[in-house]
Structure 1
C-alpha cells in the first residue's frame, strides 16, 4: 500500500467517532516535528505530523522501533516540546505555556499510565490514587473516588500497599490515579508491557470501559496487535510520520499491517 498523508489519517481518526471538521478535538497536532541533535547527527523523530484525536475515543499508536511512537506521545502530552508545529489540548496551545503552567496542565487535565506502575510503595491504594489531588492542594470528591475504585475492581483493597498487590492490581491503581482528576485525556505508554496475557486483557478491557462508560479519551502507545484491537482507531507511524490509520481494528488486521510497515517507511 502506498504511503498516505497525516491529513488523510486525520480524516480516518475523525470518522471513527463520527466527528467532523466543525467538532473540537481532545488533542490536535498540527505540523509537529521533533529533531534531536544538530547538523549531520540530527535525528528527525517526528516529521510534520498533523492529526486530530476525537473526544471520547480510544486511539492506539503503533510502529516499528524508532518510528516515533514515544516522541509522539511525549509531545502530545506536553512532556516534551516539539521543534516545530503546535499541539493543542482541548483548544489550549501548549507552545504558549511556560514550564510551570505546563506542569499544572499535565497534573489537572491529563492522566498518565505507564508500563512501570510508578506507585509509591509507602502509600496505600487510596493515597496513591489521590496523590495528584494532594499535590494540587485539592480534596478528593469522595463520590467520584468511590466510583472509580469500584470501576477498576479495587473495592476492599484501598488500604493495601503496592507490595501487597499483583501486577494487574497495581496497574489498576495507576489507571484509577489517572482518572481521579477527571482528565481530558489519558495517555498510556505500553500499559500492558509488564503484565501476563490474561491480566493484560483485563487492563485493556478496563481502558475500553472508561471510554464506553465514562466518555474518556484514551491515547495508547503499544507494540501489541491484540492491545491495539481494543481501540477505535490505530495510527501507524514509520520514520516519524503517520503512514496509515485503521478503524475497527482486529488483532490479525493490525499484525498484517504492521508486517508491511517496513515497505512504507
Structure 2
C-alpha cells in the first residue's frame, strides 16, 4: 500500500482494536491456534494488563497488535490505522512514530549514553530530539544525574526507567510492555510500575502490558485474561489477590496446552 493508506485512519475511538483476530502457528496436524477469534478494544488513556497461563496467546497478541505478526483473519486497527492495509515500510514507520516498546531485557545500546538511548527512536524516525526535553523527562524519572552514564553504570531498575523514557519521548499512541518487571527486584519493580501508572493517570498515555505477576497487574485499570487463545475473563480495578486467584484457576489442568 502507499503512504496514503498509512495516513487514512479508520476510527479514532480507541488506541487499539482487534476485530475477530485469528492467528495460527504451523501447518496441518501440527498447527496451533494462538489467537482464536479475538475481539477487544483498548481505550485511549488506559492501562491494560494481559495475563494467562503459559501458551495462552499473550505474546502472539502483542506481536499482532504491533504489526510484527500478521493475523490469518480479522483486523488490527492501531491509532485508527488498519494494519492489514500497510506494507512493511508503512508498518515500520507506524511503529517508530506511534508505538513505544518496553521489554524485560531493556534493549539499551551499551555504547550510547542514557540521553542518547532515549533519543535513538526519534533519530531512527528522522526527527531531531530536543535535548532539553530529554533531560526534563529523565529528571522526572529520577535520572537527571545519569544522562551521561552508559547502561552498564546503572542498576536494572534505572535501565528500565531509561527504556520507559525512550518509549514515552515520542508521545506514542500506545506503549506495549512485555514483562517489564521480570528482571527486576521487588523495589525496582514497584518503582517502574509506579512510573507506568503515572504515565497513564497523569499524562494520558495508553499502555498494554503482558505480565505473569499479579502485583504488576494490580497497577492496571483492567486485566484481560487469556486461555487457549481466547479471552476468558476481564477484571476491572484489579487487586493482586483477585488476580492471583483467577490465574490459579486458569492454570489448572483443564487449561493446559494451547497457544503460544
Same fold flag (TM > 0.5)? yes
Q: Could you tell me how far 1:257 is from its partner in structure 2? A: 0.8
Q: Could you list the runs of 5+ residues in structure 1 that have no partner in the other structure?
A: 1-21
Partner of 1:65: 54
Query: Does residue 255 in structure 1 map to residue 250 in structure 2?
Result: no
* CA drift at 1:262: 4.1
Correspondence for 1:173: 162
CA contact (8 A) 2:12 2:80 kept: no
Deviations 1:119-167 (CA, angstroms, capped at 9, x unpaired): 0000000000000111112111344323321222110100000010000
Residue 8 of structure 2 corresponds to none
Q: Name the SS of the counterpart of 2:235 in structure 1.
A: strand
Alignment partners' CA distance in 2, 1:105 and 1:241: 27
- Distance, in Å, in 2 between the alignment partners of 1:70 and 1:82 is 13
User: Higher mean Cα deviation, 137-146 or 214-223?
Assistant: 137-146
Equivalent position of 1:11 in the other structure: none
Q: 2:112 matched to 1:118? A: no
Deviations along 1:27-61, one digit per CA (max 9) or x if unpaired, are 00000111011111101000010000010000000
Q: Which residue of 1 aligns with 2:18?
A: 29
What is the Cα deviation at residue 186 of structure 1? 0.4
1:129 to 118, 121, 131: 118
SS in 2 for 1:260: helix
Is 2:181 the counterpart of 1:192?
Answer: yes
- State how 1:203-214 maps to structure 2 within 5 Å: 203-214=192-203
Distance 2:208 2:94 in 1: 17
- Give the C-alpha shift of residue 23 in structure 1: 7.4
- The RMSD of aligned alpha carbons is 1.3
User: Contact 2:79–2:98 (CA<8 Å) still a contact in 1?
Assistant: no
CA distance in 1, matches of 2:16, 2:128: 27
Map 1:143-162; keep pairs closer than 5 Å: 143-162=132-151
Correspondence list, 1:42-121, <5 A: 42-121=31-110
For this pair of structures, how many residues does the alignment match? Answer: 244
What corresponds to 2:171 in structure 1? 182
